[in-house]
Amino acid sequence: MPNLFLKNSVEISVFEKAVYTALLEVPKGKVITYGDLASNAGFFGASRAVGNALKRNPFAPKIPCHRVVKSNGEVGGFAYGVRRKIEILRSENIEIKDGKIINFSKVKI
């Protein structure tokens, strides 16, 4: 395994490292899909694995996990509840209706 970093005494796989790093490049007020994030991280098609990586994210508030959404415009999941995710997104001026993002093509990277 070509991985294992040490961040705050927590082991991180190269996969997670790549995902978190790529995610940090998403500006406030914008979102990215699980699939695109996977691609940006260098793991095309790993959308599902990305979800897992975010869920078990060791350092929660440090990374903007809330900016990762589904490719169909739905919000997706969140470790602390979808409700919370929506609130945070709204606080970043991203409109959401019925669990779906308004103007998805415009707020998406």
Q: Active-site residue numbers?
A: 65
How far apart CA 109 and CA 52 sit, in angstroms, is: 21
Segment lying near DNA (by CB under 7 A), choices 52-60, 89-97, 101-109: 52-60
Would you say 26 or 78 has its CB closer to DNA?
A: 78
Nearer to DNA among residue 46 and residue 96 (C-beta): 46
Decide: residue 93, CB within 10 A, 0-12 exposed, 13-18 middle, 19+ buried. Answer: exposed
Distance from C-alpha of 63 to C-alpha of 107, rounded to nearest angstrom: 19
Interacting residues toward DNA by CB under 7 A: 3, 13, 15-16, 33-35, 43, 45-57, 65-66, 68, 70-72, 76-79
